[in-house]
């Protein structure tokens, strides 16, 4: 073999080695890109789940998408409205509907049990306004304050004809007997203030669909004694036809003052109902 042949063979070997190295580099680059894409996708999915959970914790159960008209004013609002089957349906709403998002047909019917073991339905509450709160007796969070605000409404507006409802979000533990003891400790007037329990699925469904409020059980490591359930601290105002007309955060004094004012507008004086002399409209 001549020197020329040797040199040619070496050149061919070097070219083949170079091509092989380039192929390995390309394959390695593709693998790294795929791994990086997988990491980014995984992070994106985690972020979406995290944001969804944060939305639930903050009580924003209705998703909104605001658009702008050509003149810059706020346009239509798209909301995800909860349905009876647990799904959400996108729906355009007007400004008036946006300010009062609850169904004009009123809350859906229900069948719960009070502290005496008696059945209570929607029909039993119609004819006079009522306020309703969501609590559980084992709560170590805001529930005691919510219940104290309910007691405040009972005492300060005793001359007005309306009912109070405390609906447990922990029906597996909050039996009628436990709720009765809880009510007695609060100083509840059971003739006007009812403590209700029932099947969890029906309670949660009513809170989600009719009141548009959050409620869910904590899971795994987030589940701590006294904080097992995430729920709203709003006290809801319902008129005599069963239609929700307002929500008021029991953690804020100014909102409770507004609720008392609203109740004086929608609830008649008890003296006026009984026909006592000297009764005047609020």
Span 7-48, pLDDT tens digits: 555 555 555 555 666 666 667 667 666 767 667 656 555 554
Q: Residue 35 is encoded by which pair of tokens?
A: 């791994």
In our burial notation (b when 16+ CB lie closer than 10 A, e otherwise), range 5-19 reads: eeeeeeeeeeeeeee
In this structure, are residues 114 and 167 in contact, taking their beta carbons and an 8 Å threshold? no
Q: pLDDT tens digits, residue range 49-105?
A: 444 444 444 443 333 333 334 344 445 566 555 555 555 556 565 545 556 799 999
Q: Is 40 helix (H, G, I), strand (E, B) or coil?
A: helix
Per-residue pLDDT reduced to its tens digit, 122-170: 999 999 999 999 999 999 999 999 999 999 999 999 999 999 999 999 9
Which of 42-51, 103-112, 185-194, 262-271 is the least confident region? 42-51
* Cα distances (Å, whole numbers) of residue 76 to 69, 73, 81, 99: 8, 10, 15, 13
pTM of this structure: 0.65
Domain at 111-269, CATH homologous superfamily: Glutaredoxin (3.40.30.10)
Domain extents in the chain:
64-99, 111-269
Which of the four pLDDT bands, split at 50, 70 and 90, describes residue 271?
confident
pLDDT confidence of residue 33: 65
Q: Is there a contact between 68 and 74 (Cβ–Cβ < 8 Å)?
A: yes
pLDDT number for residue 48: 46
């Amino acid at each position: 073999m001549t020197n020329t042949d040797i040199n040619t063979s070496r050149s061919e070997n070097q070219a083949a080695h170079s091509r092989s190295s380039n192929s390995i580099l390309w394959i390695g680059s593709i693998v790294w890109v795929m791994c990086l894409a997988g990491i980014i996708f995984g992070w994106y999915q985690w972020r979406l789940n995290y944001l969804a959970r944060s939305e639930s914790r903050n009580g924003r159960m209705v998703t909104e998408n605001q658009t702008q008209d050509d003149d810059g004013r706020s346009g239509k609002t798209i909301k995800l409205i909860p349905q009876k089957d647990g799904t959400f349906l996108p729906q355009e709403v007007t400004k008036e509907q946006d300010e009062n998002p609850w169904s004009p047909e009123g809350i859906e019917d229900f069948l719960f049990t009070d502290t005496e073991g008696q059945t209570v339905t929607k029909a039993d509450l119609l004819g006079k306004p009522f306020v309703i709160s969501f609590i559980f007796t084992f709560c170590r969070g805001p529930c005691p304050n919510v219940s104290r605000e309910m007691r405040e409404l009972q005492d300060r507006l005793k001359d007005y004809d309306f009912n109070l409802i405390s609906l447990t979000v922990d029906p597996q533990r909050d039996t009628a007997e436990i709720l009765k003891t809880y009510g007695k400790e609060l100083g509840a007037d059971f003739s006007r203030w009812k403590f209700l329990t029932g099947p969890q699925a029906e309670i949660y469904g009513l809170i989600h669909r009719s009141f548009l409020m959050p409620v869910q059980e904590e899971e795994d490591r987030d589940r701590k004694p006294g904080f097992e359930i995430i729920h709203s601290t709003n006290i809801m105002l319902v008129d005599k036809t069963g239609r929700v007309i307002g929500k008021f955060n029991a953690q804020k004094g100014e909102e409770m003052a507004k609720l008392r004012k609203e109740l004086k507008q929608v609830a008649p004086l008890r003296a006026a109902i009984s026909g006592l002399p000297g009764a005047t409209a609020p």
